[in-house]
A and B are shown apart, each in its own frame.
Chain A
Amino acid sequence: MTWHPKERGNTRRDFLMRSGGAALGLSSAGSLLAACGNSTTPTASSNAQGEPVGPGGLPLARPDNPVKLPLWEDPIKSGLKPETGGTFTVYNYPVYLYKKLLNEFCAKYDVTPQYTPFDNIATGIQKLADGTVQPDVMEMTPDHLDQVVAGKLIKPLNLDYIPNLQKNIWPELVDPFYDKGSQYTVPYTLYATGILWRTDHVKEDIAGMKQPWDIFWQAQAYSGKVSMLTEDRETIAAALLRRGVTDINTEDPKLINRAVDDLKQLYGICNIKLDDSQFQTVAEDHSWLHQAWAGDLIAAFVYYLPANQHPSVMAYWKAPNGHVPVQNDCFSICATTKKPVLSHLFLNYLLENGVSMSNFIDFNGYQPPLNIIEPDTLIEKLVQSRNASWGTKLTAADAQTLQTAILHKEDFGPKSIQELTLTNSGQALWTNGYSEFTTGA
């Protein structure tokens, strides 16, 4: 069972009757403290109307419940000249933007490029809030928008400066449900969560299974070579989806507890491991079965799969629309910027077809939502990229496995499911559930 102080009451009493000593000391300390003031939910998780709200009291965006975020200040005026001189800082995940492209942009406006990475978006936002960093633009994820808008950390956009949004980007993401009117964000890359595996070790036809997520629960033969992502949302969502629960933003403790219990069965079944290096470990045969993002297959194919291995040793599966978590990352302008106009131009630059494609194919492997992308030519380009760096002589026909990792605009319709903002108490449930999963107990 997932821990919750109130539910633990029985266990505690049971134990007190059975033993004493040091444990008794701990128990009574716990009960003593429990009797004192106890506030561990940061704030009310619902508004005056009783609807659940996210951090800062902002509404929770869902594909079927689009949200227009409040403007905490006016966007900049149209028609201003870009600032020049000084530095231009991009705040992003490590190695998540092709530096050559950033350098070219900065050269055009005579500013010095700077790339400041963060470990994950949550710690990135904290450092921004602490004032440790003063970036101009940053990578943003829709599930943290409530936080950064309520915390006044990102600036509203003036789309006059960003014509490429309308011109080049999938209509589904031009006016997205999480940010109606694209007031704060432009989309950057796409990903879906599925399963990446080695076909030379895993005998099951995972994609053909009735419930492919079941493979983790019958992976006895691959014990020690099976991993999931180190993310509370992803691991628990996989267990929910396996049980047919498609509400992967649920805050129902029963569902979350059951998911965590399911995950804990994986200890005995396959001694599940947790890591985020699937693009490398699967390509290099250290891991055989791994929860993975779609872009991982592409990155594994282009950068990590040894030259003497055929692309078909790896396969990827993701569930059909409505059953697969699909997400997109965004870019935003930080409130700390001294160059708001240039920042707008940078966002527009990122959405240029050539720039966006180069960033994808030549560098990070995560697909942008560009109208020009066609799966066939895309595979062709990826194969060329691999052939160029590994000296292989593959053809597009050799790499058909990549088809499964390519995302389509239909995947992002109102039917799609995404891991989105939770109420604060809901977030605590997920975190503690994941923590319990990582205890291995």
Chain B
Amino acid sequence: MTVATAHAAPPKPSTWTRVRGWVGNPWGRPRFLVGFTWLYMAWSIIPALIAIQFSFNSGRSRTIWSGFSTRWYWGDVDSVWSDADLHHALIQSIKLAVLDVAIATPLGVLLALGLARWRGRGAGVSNFIMLFPLVTPEIVMGVSLLLVFTHVFTFIQPSTTAQVLGHVTFSISYVVVVVRGRLFSIGRQYEEAAADLGASPAVALYRVLLPLLMPAIVASIAIVFALSIDDFVISYWLSCGAGCDTVPIQIYAATRAAPLPSTNAIATILSALTLASIIIGYLGYRFFTRHERAGGGLVGDMAAFDV
């Protein structure tokens, strides 16, 4: 450590000092960082906004704006509405997401409870295995599921069923992580209190623990829905062909050729669905935690959504 003057003397206004100040001073006004951060935000969001804009283009181009129109949503022969492949893909995407939520959420919640409290043999290993789907590259998971459905569980074959099973497999761990976080933060005292007051284990689970877990369950539902809607790789590897195409698969195929604004339109619809699920999930989360507000606010809540 050097002499203790950094505090007292105002820094000389040389560029180097200023830059150093921006990087290092947690109490000053870091103008460089402010600018950089907002620039990053613009860079990360604006392209998507432009893509959305062009889904409303009245021309066929995705680069030259020629006025507002909804022809790529409905009306045009190539619109999402009229193009059977596109709206079939949309239905397929939603179908997979709904089934994924319906299966992965209960499985994941039970697994989270089990893993958090089970102290027997196998608990450690299970805890360990559970984390692998989170970090396994999707192509590895896609290949292995494809091979297992074509060579081991041959009654399944690449199909919508296979896609659902695949989606559930990569979703479970996310549910576990979210729900387990909540379990740790609520502790066991409420259930113990309920037991002291004479509640049976079933009642303690159902009337005490389940409501307390609701925020995490709602968050999980939103996250699983969004993950499934967004998934490309697993759906692609387990696809039975055009009948199993999801929206991301359609976007992928179109983008490799020369897409029309209808591709932007279906991508916009997809993103709107994801965002809606997240917003509903978030509102649900706020609702179920409305009595627990003690500072933190939005920022604290966000933690539940970054997995």
Contacts and interface: CB of A to CB of B under 8 A. Distances in A.
7 contacts: A116-B241, A127-B158, A127-B241, A130-B150, A130-B154, A277-B256, A284-B258
A277 B243 contact: no
B157 interface: yes
B158 A132 contact: yes
B157 A116 contact: no
Interface residues of B, number: 13
Contacts, number: 34
Contact of A275 (B60, B150, B241, B257): B257
Nearest to A283: B258
Given A116-B243, A117-B243, A119-B241, A130 B157 contact: yes
Contacts of A127: 157-158, 240-241
Nearest to B84: A99
Contacts of A284: 258
Contact of A132 (B159, B242, B256, B258): B159
Interface SS of chain A: helix, strand, loop or mixed? loop
Given A117-B243, A118-B241, A131-B154, 13 more contacts: A94-B241, A94-B242, A116-B243, A117-B241, A130-B154, A131-B157, A132-B157, A132-B158, A275-B256, A277-B256, A277-B258, A280-B257, A281-B258
Nearest to A126: B150
A313 to B, nearest CB: 15
Contacts of B257: 275, 277, 280-281
A344 B159 CA distance: 29
A306 interface: yes
Contacts of B60: 306
A286 interface: yes
For chain A, give the interface size range: 10 to 19
Contacts of A132: 157-159, 240
A203 B297 CA distance: 65
B278 to A, nearest CB: 33
Contacts of A131: 154, 157
Interface of B: 60, 150, 154, 157-159, 240-243, 256-258
Q: Which of A130, A131, A132 has the most CB of B within 10 A?
A: A132
Nearest to A284: B258
A363 B157 CA distance: 32
B242 A117 contact: yes
Closest 8 A-B residue pairs measured CB to CB? A277-B257, A117-B242, A132-B157, A284-B258, A94-B242, A280-B258, A280-B257, A117-B241
Interface string A47-87: 00000000000000000000000000000000000000000
Contacts of B150: 130
Nearest to A279: B257
A54 B168 CA distance: 42
A119 B252 CA distance: 14
Interface string A115-145: 0111100000001001110000000000000
B31 to A, nearest CB: 40
Contacts of B242: 94, 117
A130 B256 CA distance: 29
Interface string A90-122: 000010000000000000000000001111000
Contacts of B243: 116-117
A280 B253 CA distance: 13
Contacts of A306: 60
Contacts of B157: 127, 130-132
A431 B177 CA distance: 43
Nearest to B162: A132
Interface string A262-276: 000000000000010
A304 to B, nearest CB: 8
